[in-house]
Amino acid sequence: MNMKTFLKSLTEAGAIALWIRRNRNLLLTKNRLNKQLPRSYRQKFYKTWVLSHLGVRRQHFKTEDGSFTPLTIKISPTMRCNLACVGCFAGNYPTSGDMAFDVLKGIVLQAMALGIPSVGIIGGEPLLLPNVLDLFKQCPSVGFYLVTNGTRVSPEFVSTLKELPNVITTFSIDGFEKTNDELRGEGVFAKIVNSMALMKQAGLAFGFSTTIHRKNLREVISEQYLDFMIERGCLFGAFLPYIPVGSTPMYDFVCSQSEVQNYYRQLDTIGMTRPILILKEGYSDGTFLNSGCGAGHTMHITEKGEVEPCNGIEFATDNVHSATVEGAFMSNYFRDVRKLHAKNSRKCLVIAEPEAVLEVVKKHNAQPTHIGALEHFERYAALIRDDRASDRGKSATTSQ
* The pLDDT of residue 287: 42
pLDDT of amino acid 288: 42
Whole-number Å distance between alpha carbons of 231 and 226 = 9
Mean pLDDT per 10-residue segment, the chain (400 residues): 54 54 79 93 90 59 62 92 80 78 97 90 94 96 95 97 96 97 95 98 96 92 96 94 77 79 85 89 51 78 95 94 95 92 68 90 96 88 76 55
Predicted local distance difference test score (pLDDT) of residue 97:
86
Using an 8 Å Cβ cutoff, are 51 and 278 in contact?
A: no
- Cα–Cα distance, 272 to 35 (Å, whole number): 20
Q: What is the per-residue pLDDT for 54?
A: 64
The single-letter DSSP state of residue 256 is: P
Burial of 58 (0-12, 13-18, 19+ CB in 10 A): exposed
Q: Which amino acid is at 292?
A: G
Check: CB of residue 212 under 8 Å from CB of residue 222: no
CA distance linking residue 318 with residue 333, whole number of Å: 9
**In this predicted structure, what is the pLDDT of residue 252?**
83
pLDDT for 371: 85
**Chain centroid to CA 108:** 18
**Could you tell me the maximum CA-CA distance found in the chain, to the nearest angstrom?**
70
Give dist(CA 277, CA 356) in Å, integer.
33
Q: Give the per-residue pLDDT at 144.
A: 96
CA distance 152 to 300: 23
CATH topology of domain 25-383: TIM Barrel (3.20.20)
> Given this model, what pLDDT does residue 14 score?
56
Please report the pLDDT score of residue 9 as a whole number: 53
**Phi and psi at residue 270, to the nearest 5°:** -70, -45
What confidence score (pLDDT) does residue 272 get? 87
Which residues have C-beta within 8 Å of that of residue 147, sequence separation ≥ 6?
A: 120, 121, 122, 123, 126, 170, 172, 209
